[in-house]
Structure 1
Amino acid sequence: MLVVTGVSYAVEEPDPGDPAFLSPTSDADIGGQRLAEALRARGIEVQRVTRSIDARIAARAGDTTLFVPAPDAVHPAYRPFLRLMPQSTRLVLVDPSRRTLDDAGIELTTGARRWAAEAVPPDDGGPCTVDEARAAGVAAALRQRYIGDGDRCYGDGVVRQRTFFAEVVVVGANDPFRNDRIGEHGNEALATALLGTKSRVVWLDLHEVEPPPDTADGPGSATEGPSQAGQSPEGSSGPGRPGSGSGSSGDGQSGSGSSGEENSTADRPNPLWNAFPPSFWALLVQLALAALVFALWRARRLGPPVSEPLPVTVRAAETVLGRGRLYRRAKARGPTAGILRAAARERIAQSLGPDADLVDAVAARTGRDRDEIDALLYGASPETDDELRRLHADLDALVDSLRSAW
């Protein structure tokens, strides 16, 4: 049951590599379209970008919230620049890993992680000094805890740090931002409050690890304005401007650094994982577990007992007792009855001779009914242990009666 629960949970847990994950244009359960619409309803401009360099350029104007739903997908070379923004910029990271925090120079580290996000009040674990969290109330923001200096809420699930550069807010759960969870508890109030302190939100809609900077295209080719079609943010290339150069960096110099390529190779996820949906891997795990359980079940009973040569000389009584226990454990009443009948027929044949018709000879010698003798020596297999014991007793009595008559 625990295994099935774990596999089901793995299937339901959203994959940050899914293009729909917290995307402002996706109406899927794991998307962020409802959050983007809620922000626009409050008069906040939502600008979607798909590359870190475009997000950096767009957020440098200040009075901006830079929202990064999948910070682990940002290339390590870009991570230090996430917090190097004007003080009027707020950086919101969703469930960043310890390595991402280290690369970005954010003085936090990961703590305990829960099985799933829990809805808790903002003062859980201590007083909360973040106004947006206190106003939102109970929210499902506690999953990954973070350790370090800063203003803490939701049991260390939300931490805010003020530095000489951008204000950093780390949220350890993605539930408050998702379409299928935003309507629960105070999730919507928390998400819109954290992202709605500025007049504009730059939403980095990134899901795959980026190439290194020396092989990236120039800024602007993947920037999309939310409400003004055809316009590009400051620093991005619009119509009529050169946008990108194949294999060249932003300053026009071709990139050929081997160290950048090595870092990209190390950070790039295994393409095999992305070749199939998570449900395929979950089904594969379930089939493997089913095969393992079947093998364990059949390991106790691979077939009927067979005779084997004993490796050492064993006393006859011990051999009989051991084999008898094996037959009893396997509930092999039929084979056991066959052995008892064969032994009885052999003993009777020794008394009457090998050429004698056993049934007729025994019936004539003992005066018992022929059908009764035939059922006793060649009848059906017993169905219960009691019937097997009665058969044994009847066979011994028959052999003893023949010896007495002889």
Structure 2
Amino acid sequence: MTATAAPPAPVPAKTAPVRRRRRWHRIVIPFALATVLVTVTLLTHAADQPDAGDRGFLSPVATGDDGGSRLAEALRGQGVTVQRETDTLRALLALDGRPATLFVPAPELLHPDTVGALGDLPAGSRLVLVDPSRRVLESVDLPVAPTDRRWAARAVDPEADGRPCPLPEADRAGTAAVRLQGYAAAGGYAGDLRRCYSGGLVHLPWAADVVVIGASDPFRNDRIGEWGNEALSTGLLGVRGRVVWLDLDGPAPPPHFGTGSSGPPAWSPAPGGSTTWGDGSGTGDGGPAGGGPGGPGDGGDSDEQDRADGPQPEENPLWSAFPPWFWALLLQLALAALLVVLWRARRLGPPVGEPLPVQVRAAETVLGRARLYQQARARGPAAGTLRAATLDRLLTRLNLPATTPPAEVAAFVAARAGGTADEVHELLYGAEPSTDAELLALARSLDRVTRTVTAAPDHPTEGDPR
């Protein structure tokens, strides 16, 4: 006998490599949500921060959150004269050599041809600039340069950087919300630069001393009552007893030039005024010698000029009923709710069948499903489930096909369990119960019929003796 070689084992066929489905959305969605969150935060911060170009920003007659009416009232309460001017040249003429403080809350709105005149104020006066930019500081020829800028104004102590603050007004006010924009000495300047609030306030004690402050918070209506803001703002502006408040609604127009009686051309205010500056001959309404509204002879705030500016536009009362931080918080809560909805409704892939980690008893499953039906008040579906289970047992017990007509099923069941065919038909195929009591009675009747039919001795089941 010769041994036959065993057939070679079949070579398993190479299976195609399983291509993993790239779940690109798992990377895109988190980054998209983070981008949306950062964008909304930036937009909310930009909307919450006041803009110097907004109408009524630090205006002595504006009562909004960004206005300065509370500061003006506090100054008048201390006996300080507040003179409002809406033209740069009129404000400069209003100083006229008498002690006064020129308050410029929005230096960026000054025209480049007139901003340089702020460096030639008469002796004994004070210039207060709020958050000036590098362009303004260089145009006024101030040896000050902006440094770091914060996200929001911070309340700090005048000696926060460990250096004593030589300005009495700041020392009396104490902690104030000044540290938004920091300032330091410009390169090459070796003079006396008096810094307070960790560089948030700079004082130059010249013939006309200059105060540069890096935040508008101490002057605004919505922040003046915090910390020592009111004491600082009234101290800076009221030290001379008179304040010339330059209130610009927008970018200042270029100056108009006219020819004086002798010498070079002279500056004049915007059209509509007769005051000139340069030769001293202009003594029209509002000029140095005129004593009209807006001139130095006014002696108080220009009420007639305020009324001539026209009515202020009406604001939506809904927006003014709540502070800006409320709307920002509401927007962030809405975004958070949207993220929660997206997280709860996420569907990042197809459903995957997994084995149950534990075995659940049938009684617990039935009880849990029954409670769900009860909570949803689904009496109809519950009755349908009970009837379907009963019919399945009865048809199996009676050896009837599933396609047996209801009338025949009712007749067979009535013959085994008793009663009429109509009663059994109503029990197995009747209407839905309308109350929990009817559903309970239906369940008991179905259970009784099932037990009666399945217990019949003439229909043995699997395992019974035949």
TM over 0.5, shorter chain: yes
Q: Offset of 1:150 from its aligned partner?
A: 1.3
Can you list the C-alpha shifts for 1:236-282, whole angstroms capped at 9, x where unaligned? 6849x9xxxxxxxxxxxxxxxxxxxxxxxxxxxxxxxxxxx9x9xx9
- Asked if 1:121 is matched to 2:157, the reply is yes
Distance change in 2, residues 1:38/1:172 (3 Å)? same
Code of the aligned partner of 1:11: A
Can you list the C-alpha shifts for 1:37-90, whole angstroms capped at 9, x where unaligned? 110111110000001111111123330000000011011111111121112010
Q: 1:106 aligns with which of 142, 150, 158?
A: 142
Kindly report which structure 2 residues correspond to 1:266-305, keeping only aligned pairs within 5 A, or say none. Answer: none
Kindly report which structure 2 residues correspond to 1:308-319, keeping only aligned pairs within 5 A, or say none. Answer: none
Q: For CA contacts below 8 A with separation 6 or more, give which structure has more relative contact order.
A: 1
Distance across 1 between alignment mates of 2:130 and 2:223 = 15
Match of 1:138 in 2: 175
- Asked if 1:194 is matched to 2:236, the reply is yes
Distance change in 2, residues 1:31/1:329 (3 Å)? closer
Q: Offset of 1:6 from its aligned partner?
A: 2.2
Match of 2:75 in 1: 39
Q: 1:218 aligns with which of 244, 257, 269?
A: 269
Match of 1:316 in 2: none
TM-score (norm 1): 0.56
Q: Offset of 1:217 from its aligned partner?
A: 6.2
Kindly report which structure 2 residues correspond to 1:36-185, keeping only aligned pairs within 5 A, or say none. Answer: 36-125=72-161, 126-148=163-185, 149-163=192-206, 165-185=207-227
Can you list the C-alpha shifts for 1:370-394, whole angstroms capped at 9, x where unaligned? 99xxxxxxxxxxxxxxxxxxxxxxx
Distance across 2 between alignment mates of 1:24 and 1:63 = 20
- 3-state SS, counterpart of residue 83 of structure 1: helix
Can you list the C-alpha shifts for 1:341-360, whole angstroms capped at 9, x where unaligned? xxxxxxxxxxxxxxxxxxxx
Q: Offset of 1:232 from its aligned partner?
A: 3.9
Code of the aligned partner of 1:209: P
- 3-state SS, counterpart of residue 113 of structure 2: coil
Distance across 2 between alignment mates of 1:220 and 1:235 = 19
Code of the aligned partner of 2:269: G
Aligned residues: 257
Distance across 1 between alignment mates of 2:243 and 2:273 = 16
Code of the aligned partner of 1:160: H
Distance across 2 between alignment mates of 1:233 and 1:183 = 36
- 3-state SS, counterpart of residue 173 of structure 1: coil
Can you list the C-alpha shifts for 1:120-147, whole angstroms capped at 9, x where unaligned? 1111112111000000001001110011
Distance across 2 between alignment mates of 1:63 and 1:210 = 25
Match of 2:64 in 1: 28
- Asked if 1:5 is matched to 2:41, the reply is yes
Q: Which has the larger radius of gyration?
A: 2
Question: Cα RMSD between the aligned structures?
Answer: 3.8
Match of 1:204 in 2: 246
Distance across 2 between alignment mates of 1:30 and 1:15 = 9
Native 8 Å contact 1:221 1:237 kept in 2: no
Distance change in 2, residues 1:218/1:235 (3 Å)? farther
Native 8 Å contact 1:83 1:168 kept in 2: no
TM-score (norm 2): 0.49
Can you list the C-alpha shifts for 1:152-172, whole angstroms capped at 9, x where unaligned? 110100000023x42100010
Distance across 1 between alignment mates of 2:272 and 2:232 = 32
Distance change in 2, residues 1:26/1:37 (3 Å)? same
Code of the aligned partner of 1:196: G
Native 8 Å contact 1:82 1:104 kept in 2: yes
Code of the aligned partner of 1:167: D
Unaligned runs of 5+ residues in structure 1 are: 224-230, 242-276, 302-327, 335-369, 372-406
- 3-state SS, counterpart of residue 109 of structure 1: strand
Q: Offset of 1:12 from its aligned partner?
A: 1.0
Code of the aligned partner of 2:202: V
Distance change in 2, residues 1:235/1:127 (3 Å)? same
Q: 2:288 aligns with which of 234, 243, 246?
A: 234
